Amino acid sequence: GYDNEHNDLILYVNMALDPTNARGTGGGGGAAAAAAAAAATTAPLPPPASSGTAAAAAAATAAPLPPPPPASEANNAPPSGDPSSRPPRRYTVTDMLGSGTFGQVVRCTDSETGKTVAVKVIKNQPAYYHQARVEISIVQMLNSRYDPNGERPIVRMMDYFVFQKHLCLVFEELSVNLYELIRHNGFKGLSLNLVRVFLNQILQALQTLRQARVVHCDLKPENILLRRLDTSGDVKLIDFGSACFTNKTVYSYVQSRFYRSPEVITCSSYDCAIDMWSLGCVAAELFLGLPLFPGASEYNLLCRIVETLGMPSNTLLAQGKETWKFFYHKNAAANVTASAAAAAAAPAAPPP
């Protein structure tokens, strides 16, 4: 029953969780990137596209966003002259939430609303800046066109701005992620009732993405956050930094390894189905407490998948540009190569 689901959640959240300790995070940007959020002024969001068609969704990636302003502009230049003429400081950094290959995430106070927000500060590098532009377009489209009332379990983007050539994205503040919940439960897994509550909401989010023809490309427990550290059990899907439209899949190397689908491993074409694969892996991990396919490498990962689920379809193998790295043809059937089998026998890396 629902009461039991709430009681289960009380057991997991009645502890002080550390929101900065999560898997899969790389080095972040420098201190200047975090400080950028403190003194920034904001720019208006681009207007939403007018229709829900595939063409309109694809066009959203081209929504006009400002390029990084030149160093001579006021928001990038050191303050000078009359203090009353300086741009107002809307966001004040209060804490560091985490870091990754993209940059850093800081907790800030919005002086206009008094609310606490999470500001994602992107590294000042062209590749990260370009992908952040795509993330802005996708999240803004999802929020405005597919979830105008904020009822679906997808993170809300409040604002964005450029400061000292760092693109900064402002999101609603959420609580801990599901990996942290598992970790603080001793990697024993969560109750079936609670897993059901979480999965129902994640499926709603993926249904919305499918309607919008968007592929998240990085679904994992770290990217599913509780709205609040209470007994509601409400979660939201975050981090659309790797997301793309189904008709514009630019990158072949996507998804975190434990949740990577056979299509991505073999470099086949992919769509929203790879998010469903990741969801299956997440579902098992929530219940078991450990990853379903903890591959130490792509060879090891694919061998674990084949051992558990059997061979991928011949159609998928024929489409894969990198199928040859893992399989060869013998008697008209694809088989795992000896090197892959050897990799499967190697012990997997322990969970972080």
Sequence ranges of the binding site for ATP: 120
How many Cα atoms within 13 Å fall on the side-chain side of residue 218?
Answer: 17
- Give the separation between CA 132 and CA 119, rounded to whole angstroms: 13
Sign of the Cα torsion 126, 131, 135, 138 reads positive
Measured CA to CA in angstroms, residue 78 lies from 85, 94, 323 at distances of: 13, 22, 54
Binding site: which residues? 120
Measured CA to CA in angstroms, residue 9 lies from 14, 201, 229 at distances of: 8, 15, 10
For residue 259, give every residue at least 6 positions away whose Cβ sits within 8 Å of its Cβ, in sequence order, or none. 218, 219, 220, 277, 278, 281, 282
Give me the helix-helix angle, 298-309 and 338-345, nearest 10°: 90
- Give the separation between CA 280 and CA 234, rounded to whole angstroms: 19
Asked whether the beta carbons of 268 and 321 are under 8 A apart, the reply is yes
Q: Is 18 exposed, middle or buried (0-12, 13-18, 19+ CB in 10 A)?
A: exposed
Active-site pick, 110, 218, 239, 275 = 218
Q: Is 305 exposed, middle or buried (0-12, 13-18, 19+ CB in 10 A)?
A: buried
- DSSP annotation of 313 reads P
**Catalytic annotation present for 218:** yes
Give me the helix-helix angle, 192-211 and 273-288, nearest 10°: 170
Residues known to be catalytic: 218
